[in-house]
Amino acid sequence: RSAGANHLLLLCKDLTGWKNLSRLVSLGYLEGYYYKPRVSKHLLRQYSEGLICTTACLQGEAAQHLLAGRDDLARQAVLELREIFGDDNLYVEVQRNGLEEQERVNAGMIAIANELGLPLVATCDAHYLRPEDQPAHDALLCINTGKLLSDPNRLKLDAVLHVRSKQEIAEAFADLEEAVRHSVEIAERCNVEFPTGKRYLPVYTPPPPAEGEAPKDANTFFLELCEQGLRRRYGDPLPEHVRERFETEKQVILSMGFASYFLIVWDFIDWARRQGIPVGPGRGSAAGSIVAYALGITDVCPLKYDLLFERFLNKERVSMPDIDVDICQERRGEVIEYVRQKYGRDAVSQIITFGTMAARSVIRDVGRVMGMPLPEVDRIAKLVPADLQVRRKKLKDALEEVPELREAVEASPQLRSLMEIAQRLEGSVRNASTHACGVVIGDGPLIERVPLYRDPRNPNDLVTQFTMGLLEDACGLLKMDFLGLRTLTVIRWCLTHIERTEGKRVDVSMQALPIDDPDDPTARKTFELLQRGETKGVFQFESSGYRDLLVRLQPDSFEDIIALGAMYRPGPLGAGMVDAYVNRKHGREQVRYDHPSLEKILGETYGCMLYQEQVMRIANVLAGFSLNEADSLRKAMGKKKPEVMAKFKGKFLDGAEQRGCPRETAEKIWQQMEFFAGYGFNKSHSTAYALVTYQTAWLKANYPVEFMAALLSSEVSNIDKVVDYIAEAERMGIEVLPPSINDSEVSFAVVTEGGAKAIRYGLVAIRGVGQSAAEQIVAARAKQPERRFRSLYDLTASVDTKLVNKGVLDALIKAGATESLPGHRAQHAAILEKALQHGARKAADRRAGQRGLFDALRRSPASEPLPTPALPELEPWSEQLLLQGEKEALGFYFSSHPLKRWKSKLERYCTATSENLASREGEIVTGGMITGIRTRVDRKGATMAFLTVEDLGGSFDAVVFSRTYAEVRDRIAEEAIVLLRGSVDTSRESPSVLVDDVIPIEQADGTFCVQLGLLLQPEDTEPERIERVFAALRSHPGDCPVLCTVHTRSGLRAHIRLGTPLRVEPGPDLVRRLSELLSPERVQLRA
């Protein structure tokens, strides 16, 4: 331990000390990391200036020597620290924490201090704030070490470890008053003053000039690029309003010193596009800048959509610009690597983020270390609202909001203890990790500016020890977000598919798409798709709530898409803004403007204040605010800062009145602005993202097969999404072909089958196959005669069986990917071991450089096919085994589904499915196959059940409380196909069904059918046939009425309701008999 795992306390006297401490803790991670960050004494000597050192706690080097009886070495360790830091900067620590070892160390430390003439300092080894926090800290130790509180051998700190008051310290060190005074002395000596208002931005170096040209500085190069971009976007000469807007932005950017910033962003986006890496059309408020548009940083015209530069960069509210960039998720790392190479690996770093113990997870953690049953803990955790953290609420708020949670805690002493500890630990840091998208670029080595960290999981990447906010606000560093957007990857793959299938390149830029031409046939198809709500896979609009809103709104313009992206959020929904927008668009509600000047501002949103930019425009037009002032007002309103708003209100009312607006009207408009500003959305962001939405909708509407193939490829690791998108493809009339080792590519591919485009399942989407194995199979297949494997032996002889191993081949067989080979799945499974042995022999032959007999035969002039052993005579797998294998390998049933037989009944009687549960209210009927059952005993000692139910679109959870369970338990079984009657619980993360009744699917007709309909043709009314029909009805008596619709030979149609004696019990036997007599399509069960 004394060789390299001791503690040491260093404190900064001044800015030099801060820089040295920052470098030391950085080097501890970058150079000294071994399980823990470590700093050598050599480094301490190098970076000791400006630092005060104390000898630390019981884990200090001198303390450890004293505990081991090595007093001379303890004295030597203190002497070495004095040599490094100097007499004035070393203090010998003493603590009083109730530990016997500490008292022994204190005696030794006092002796050393007296002998060497060093000052003592009294310190407090603080692990938690208050004495009452000790049980929570004890639980935290168990959480971190994976132990139970009941474990007698676990780590436990039986000492006084809270932050002591002045009184407590005085009493503890009554005999060492000098040591207490020295603690104050150290505090007074620590005077670090950080320079404020300074920015350390990287400087962009323009490319070297051509021969004969003068070198250009960053500002000159920036202006040159802007002029080129403006002419490309708007033509030459520039329209006057374009020039005017550019001059305004240019003056602000140059005066604030941000030309290099724009060039840095332009440079890596330009590089990415030249490498074929898709970059988004813009994100956030940067889309409001014509400079960003000219440079190609964004791709939406701010003038066309009235996007405001001041929302992005306000010269009266000095702050760093913030251009976040969406990049193709698959290749985002390449762009970050380019930035590292350009500006120096030591000048570019990712940013740390801290995972905290959130409400639900802390309950589970504390319950686990308390040894409570996991189902009970999970039940309590799920009672906590899923959006608690989003609403910035705590567990104490959940106890007030959820009566069931409060009652459960109050009724159980153990749960009370759990909740008390959980509330104390809630929000504590759980772990450090790397921010998903944040990157910081310095003006030189970042170690000079901030402490650095190296994530053990990604040891090649630098990470800052400061979080994003500190880096920008306190350190003056440039932060950028490089966001990986999966949708951009989908678009790229889709365009690649189109090029392969259609032989043409499709341009989906804003300039190429028919966004403003509603008569264009491709645009018409796009808006028709949106109006039908068929938007699975369409960016932003995938959820069932969005799909319902699209059907209600019937969008027919790009402006509608912009508005939809802004309005479907809790605030506008709760404020009734969405309903008002829909009703006003369709003329069901009159649009009124409180002042004529508002019509031009709010007209595009039918009088609704939807965007933050509209609030700014109103302040600007109605009250004469500058746009910079209007942005400051918008920010104050959004953050509800009353003192700032009060300052602006008087100016607003006075300004409006001076411009002819009555003061009462201005007051009313102010109140509306104040109310809606809290919900208003950034129109710049919504406009940029609306383009991505339109691009995906356009591709889905006009190239559906290519789009769905790309979409499926993007979700290969998410089985639920794959199932969902395959169902969507089938709904669209697109055939999804099964995986095949002879026909599948690595991922999902577009193929032609029977003259029509189809999607072939990708090998990588089979569980247990993986990217490398899939790539090797496809590469090996390309080398085969006719590019096909002829047998399983052929396959194993062509690949590395260490990579394409038994597990991979077993998954391929179960998935049905070997169906193109001779034989069936049972035979392929039976010869698997032999095929692998054959492959291993072939590999050994290749390594030995030999030509085996099979090679000679293959290379003979006759080109005879490779002989393979005969397949064993076996029966094919039963349908049940076949489907079980598919479920195991693919995560779902492919060739068929146990529910397909009952599809018509499920569609007839279910009012909700897994896809739309979240939007259903009141009593619902849903159904499917029970795939999971978990029972537990409730507080009353009765059994209840938690079910997982799978339908044709996905799966959902269902809860059967004890009273219902007692009545339906005999109907609940694994793989039972049932209908569930109940209600939807949306209080948790995923909606679940609270079950009131369970109906076996075979009894669905008798339970839900309210009428049996018979369609009779003229020939059916002949006495003999009609008597047979009536006989069938009489043989199944019940309460369901029968309605006959009779078509006569004269073309008339009559409806005849049969009398009570012919009412029936509409079960499967009756339906089968009537179908034989009339035909299935003329027997209708009506729910």
More confident of the two residues 59 and 1084:
59
* Amino acid 861: pLDDT: 43
- Element (DSSP H or E) covering residue 924: strand 923-937
- Residue 391 and residue 398: Cα distance in Å, rounded? 11
Name residue, tokens 């000098």: 178
| CB atoms near residue 162 (< 10 Å) | 20
- For 1014, residues 6+ apart whose C-beta sits below 8 A from its C-beta are 1029, 1042, 1043, 1044, 1045, 1074, 1078, 1082, 1083, 1084
Contact indicator for 899, 906 with CB cutoff of 8 Å:
yes
Confidence tier at 2 by pLDDT (50, 70, 90): very low
Q: Which comes out higher in pLDDT, residue 676 or 225?
A: 225
- Rounded alpha-carbon distances, angstroms, from residue 891 to 713, 820, 880, 955: 15, 21, 15, 12
Which pLDDT value is given to residue 3?
52
Least confident segment among 182-191, 464-473, 837-846, 971-980: 837-846
CA torsion sign for 221, 227, 230, 235 is: negative
Helices (H), 86-176: 100-116, 134-145, 166-172
**Tens of pLDDT, residues 478-490:** 888 999 999 999 9
Share of the chain above pLDDT 90, in %: 67
Listed in sequence order, the DSSP H helices in 591-641 are 597-602, 612-623, 627-638
Angle ∠(362,364,369) on CA atoms, nearest 5: 95
Amino acid at 280: G
Stretch 735-741: mean pLDDT, rounded? 96
By the 8 A CB rule, do 161 and 128 touch? yes
Which residue type is seen at 26? S
- Residue 1008 CA to its chain's centroid (Å): 40
Distance CA(752)–CA(732), nearest Å, equals: 16
Which pLDDT band holds residue 634 (cuts at 50, 70, 90)?
confident
pLDDT in tens, 253-264: 999 889 999 999
What are residue 1006's phi and psi, to 5 degrees? -65, -25
CA 731/CA 751 separation, integer angstroms: 18
**Contact at 8 Å (CB) between 57 and 125?**
yes
Model confidence at 708: pLDDT above 70: yes
Residue 854 has pLDDT above 60, yes or no: no
What is the chain's Cα-based Rg? Answer: 36
Domains identified in the chain and CATH numbers: 9-126+164-189 (3.20.20.140), 218-347 (no CATH), 351-472 (1.10.10.1600), 488-697 (no CATH), 715-754+766-890 (no CATH), 900-1002 (2.40.50.140), 1009-1086 (no CATH)
Per-residue pLDDT at 602 exceeds 50: yes
Contact status, residue 693 vs residue 539, Cβ threshold 8 Å: yes
Count how many Cα atoms sit within 13 Å of the Cα of residue 60 in the half-sphere of its side chain.
Answer: 30
The whole-model pTM stands at 0.83
SS3 567: helix
CB contact set of 11 (below 8 Å; sequence gap of 6+) = 17, 51, 52, 53, 54, 186, 190
- Residue 322's SS3 state is coil
Question: Model confidence over 878-895: pLDDT tens digits?
Answer: 988 999 999 999 988 898
Look over the chain and give the mean of its residue pLDDT values, rounded to a whole number: 90
754: left (phi over 0), alpha (psi -120 to 50) or beta: left
Q: What is the pLDDT of residue 1?
A: 39
